[in-house]
Structure formats: C-alpha cells, structure tokens
Amino acid sequence: MEAGVAIHTAGGALDGLGKGGLIAVILVSIIAIVAFVWIFRETGNRD
C-alpha cells in the first residue's frame, strides 16, 4: 500500500521531470525494491 502511495505521489512530480529524472526515479525505485526483498528474505532465514 505504501508503494502505491509513493507511485501516486511520484506521478504528480514526474510532470516536471525530464527523461533523465524519470530514469533516476525508476532506478531508485528498483534499488529500493531489491533492498527490501533482500532484507525481508534475510530476516526470514534467521528465524
């Protein structure tokens, strides 16, 4: 649900971004998702 809010919020900000800004937002989002999944999997392995 938080990701949906972040995407909706970013959608309004994307109007003022150029192609480079859009690529940067996408890259940061992918890195954040990968980091979250990695942390979640590592936490599950400890239990």
Please say if the pLDDT value at position 3 is more than 90. Answer: no
CB 22 within 8 A of CB 14: yes
CB 7 within 8 A of CB 26: no
Please say if the pLDDT value at position 36 is more than 60. Answer: yes
**Which domain covers residue 12, as residue numbers?**
2-46
CB 25 within 8 A of CB 14: yes
Please say if the pLDDT value at position 1 is more than 50. Answer: no
pLDDT confidence tier of residue 43, bands split at 50, 70 and 90: confident
Tens digits of per-residue pLDDT, 4-20?
Answer: 545 555 555 556 678 88
Instruction: Give the count of domains, the chain.
Output: 1
What pTM was estimated for this model as a whole? Answer: 0.54
